[in-house]
Amino acid sequence: MKSLKISNYVLYGLIGISVVILLLFMFVGFDNVYEENPKYNDPKMTDLLLVWMYVLVAVTAILSVVSVVMSIKNNNGSDVKGVAGKTGIIAVAALIISLVLGGIVGAADHEDLIINNKAFEHAQHGLDYMLTNVSIVSAGLLGLVAVVVTVISMFMQSKK
């Protein structure tokens, strides 16, 4: 019970910090004009927002690995029957499939990326471009899987 309270406080803290950083991004220098092209904005807090996202992604990845290791360690041969016992395998399989599909989409995309009226050719920034495509496609697919699993879980809980 104590760990549940601690995790709730950590969650509320992370949400609070995220809201403050988002508000700083939106209201402090958001309408700063981009010097090279005045049609675009150059928000002052973009670096802060990106660093916070990197921190959240890194912490999530570390906690995911720790969670998998702890669940394997604590599984004393007491297998849960059915799909509930296979959630770890299903999650890892979904991650691998989404990364592979992201790689396929990234490899098939040969269009130039245009940022602030500058073309970034695929050949010049191949690895960055590929990793970006993999990340975007993987995040989209995993988000879709999360929504589907949540809806299915809601219907299964309502039948009990």
Query: pLDDT tens digit string along 123-154?
Result: 555 677 777 778 888 888 888 888 888 888 77
Q: What percent of the chain has pLDDT over 90?
A: 8
pLDDT band, residue 20 (cuts 50/70/90): very high
Within this chain, do residues 16 and 45 fall inside the same structural domain, yes or no? Answer: yes
Regarding whether 86 and 56 lie in a shared domain, the answer is no
Domain finish residue from 18, 42, 77 = 77
Instruction: Please give the DSSP secondary-structure letter assigned to residue 32.
Output: P
Task: Flag the least confident range among 13-27, 45-59, 130-144.
Answer: 130-144
Residues 71 and 113 occupy one common structural domain: no
48 plus 94 within the same structural domain: no
- The per-residue pLDDT for 158 is 67
Domain that holds residue 120: 79-160
Do 127 and 72 reside in the same domain of the chain?
A: no
Average pLDDT over the chain reads 78
* Predicted confidence (pLDDT) at residue 122 exceeds the cutoff of 60: no
Q: 68 and 1 share a domain?
A: yes
41 and 85 fall within a common domain: no
Q: Report helix, strand or coil for 33.
A: strand
Instruction: Dump the DSSP string for 69-132.
Output: HHHHHH--S-PPPSGGGGHHHHHHHHHHHHHHHHHHHHHH--PPEEETTEEE-TTTTHHHHHHH
Residue 124 and residue 113 in one domain: yes
For residues 62 and 46, membership in a common domain is answered with yes
Which letter does DSSP use for residue 35 in this model? Answer: S
Do 57 and 85 share a domain, yes or no? no
**How far apart (Å, rounded) are the C-alpha atoms in residues 128 and 143?**
22
- Examine the fold and report which residue of 52, 77, 102 is the final residue of a domain before the chain moves on: 77
pLDDT (0 to 100) of residue 125: 58
**99 shares a domain with 48:** no
Between 18-32, 61-75, 115-129, 142-156, the lowest mean confidence (pLDDT) is in: 115-129
Q: How many domains does the chain have?
A: 2
Q: Is 1 helix (H, G, I), strand (E, B) or coil?
A: coil
Asked which of 77, 100, 130 is the last residue of a domain, the reply is: 77
DSSP-derived secondary structure letter, 46? H
